[in-house]
Structure 1
Amino acid sequence: MNQAITQADELTAPEFDVSERSFDAPTRRTPLRKRLFDVTIAAPALIIAAPVIGALALASAWTFRAAPVFEQTRLGRGGKVFRFYKIRTLPTIAPDTADKYQLRSLDLPHFSRFVRFRHLDELPQLLLVLSGKMSLVGPRPEMPTLADSFDPRFVRDRLAVQPGCTGLWQVSIRARNLIGEHPEFDRYYLENWTLRLDAWILYRTVLAMATHDEIASVSDVPRWTGAKPR
C-alpha cells in the first residue's frame, strides 16, 4: 500500500489550473496547525480503528471473494492525483467510476448497506491522513472524471487545499446528492476555516455515523466555531 502511495506522487492532473482562486483560503495560511491537529487525532484513531478495519476487510473478502481494499484515483491538492482507499463494499462488476446515483440501482448485500450507511468503509483513509495525502477535514477528494462535470471555478477552489476524510457536505443531508450539486458547503468551509470548525465537523461526523443526525444547511454551523453567520 505504501508503495502505491509513493507511485501516485508522480501522477498529476494538469488540466486543472489552481493558480487562481475565487477566495483567500485560511487553510493555506496555517498548514502547520492543521497538520498537527490531523496527526494528533489520526494516529490514535488509526490504532483504535485497526481491529475494526481488519474485521471489515475479512468480511469484505468473504462476501465478494475479492481484494478487500478498493483503490481508486482521486484528485488531491494542487490537482495531483493519488491512490484513494476504501473497504470494498461493491461487487467487482460495479464500474470503478460510477457515481452514487448509478450505485443506487445495485442490489447490495446487507454487509455493504450497513458499512456504507455508517461510513465504516472510509476508515482506511486515516492512513492517507498520516501520509500527508489527505486531511481529517476538508473538501471530499473527487474522481477526475466526475470533477470534469463540475463548475471549473468550484473545482479550482477545492483543489487549493488538502482534501479531507470528512467535511461540511459529508455531515449534511445533501450528501445524498453529488458534491457539485451543492457547492455551498465546501465554499463555506474554504472561506471560514478554523481549527474549531474542524473539531465541530469531526464531532458531527461521529454523530452522523452513530445516529445519522445531519445538518440541513451551512446556517446550522454554530458561531463559536469562528465561522461567519449565514
Structure 2
Amino acid sequence: MKYIEQKRKIDLMLSLIGMVILAPLFIGIMIAIKLESKGPVLFKQKRVGLRRSHFNILKFRTMRTDAPKDTPTHLLDDSEQYITKVGKFLRKTSLDELPQIINILKGDMAVIGPRPALWNQYDLIEEREKYGANDVLPGLTGWAQINGRDELPIEIKAKFDGEYVNDMSLKLDFLCLIKTIVSVAKSDGIIEGNTIKVFEEVASAKENEK
C-alpha cells in the first residue's frame, strides 16, 4: 500500500516532466498527422482501467478514420490498408502512445502497469482477474510488454501481469522502464496484422524444420 502511494507521486512527477520536455515533439507530430490525413489528431478508445472501470485512452491517430475502432490492430486481417504513413512511423517507434501521459496525469493510468485491455477483450480481462491484475492502475508499459508485447498469447500475458502485481516495487518499475526503452529502440515484439496467422506461420516453420 505504501509503495502504491509513492508510485502515484512518481507517476505525476514523471508525466509532468515528460509533458514539458516532449512539448516540441507533441507539436511536430500533431502537424505531421494533420498534413497527411483528415480527421482528429488524437484517437480515443474505451479501455479497462482500475477495478474494471472504463476510461478513454489517448493516442496519436495512426489510422484512417474509417478503420475499425474496437478491434485490436493485430487482429485485423489487413491492418496495413488502414495505417497512414505517419502512423506507421509512430507505431514503429511507439510515439503514438505519448498522449497517454495525459491519462497518467488524470489518474487513469500509471507509467508502469498492465497494459489496459479494450473494453471488449473479455478473455484477457477474465484471465487477468485470476491474478488480481485488474486491481491496479493500467500502465503505459509493463512487465508483459518487456517480455513479448504483441507476441504473447493471452494466458501468458495475464500471467506476466500477475507476476507484476505480486512483485510490484520501485526496483521492478525501474527495470520495466529501462527495458521498455531498449525494446522500443529495437522494435521488439510488435506484430501488425492477424496474430493468429502469425502464430500459425511460426508453428508451420518449426514443423518444417523437423
Structure with the larger helix share:
2
Range with greater deviation from structure 2 (181-190 or 82-91): 181-190
Structure 2 equivalent of residue 116 of structure 1: 91
Give the paired residue count.
Answer: 186
Structure 2 equivalent of residue 93 of structure 1: 66
CA deviation map 1:19-60 (0-9, x unaligned): xxxxxxxxx453211111212222111211121122112211
- Give the Cα–Cα distance (whole angstroms) in 2 for the partners of residues 174 and 122 of structure 1: 14
Structure 1 equivalent of residue 199 of structure 2: none
- Give the Cα–Cα distance (whole angstroms) in 2 for the partners of residues 144 and 63 of structure 1: 30
Instruction: Name the aligned partner's letter for residue 133 of structure 1.
Output: D
Q: CA deviation at 1:189?
A: 0.6
Are residue 160 (structure 1) and residue 135 (structure 2) matched?
yes
- Give the Cα–Cα distance (whole angstroms) in 2 for the partners of residues 123 and 151 of structure 1: 24
Q: CA deviation at 1:149?
A: 2.5
TM-score of the aligned structures, taking structure 2 as reference length: 0.80
Structure 2 equivalent of residue 188 of structure 1: 163
SS at match of 2:79: coil
User: In structure 2, which of residues 170, 173, 176 is the aligned counterpart of residue 198 of structure 1?
Assistant: 173
Unaligned stretches of 5+ in structure 2?
A: 190-210
Q: CA deviation at 1:153?
A: 4.7
Q: CA deviation at 1:211?
A: 2.7
What are the equivalent positions in structure 2 for 1:135-174 lying under 5 Å apart? 135-146=110-121, 148-150=122-124, 152-155=126-129, 157-174=132-149
Q: Quote the sequence identity (%).
A: 28
CA 1:181–1:188 in 2, change beyond 3 Å: closer, same or farther?
Answer: closer
What are the equivalent positions in structure 2 for 1:1-230 lying under 5 Å apart? 28=1, 30-103=3-76, 105-107=78-80, 108-146=83-121, 148-150=122-124, 152-155=126-129, 157-177=132-152, 179-180=154-155, 182-212=157-187
CA 1:130–1:166 in 2, change beyond 3 Å: closer, same or farther?
Answer: same
- Give the Cα–Cα distance (whole angstroms) in 2 for the partners of residues 104 and 155 of structure 1: 29
CA deviation map 1:48-95 (0-9, x unaligned): 112112211221122221001001111110221111100000111111
TM-score of the aligned structures, taking structure 1 as reference length: 0.74
Unaligned stretches of 5+ in structure 1?
A: 1-27, 215-230
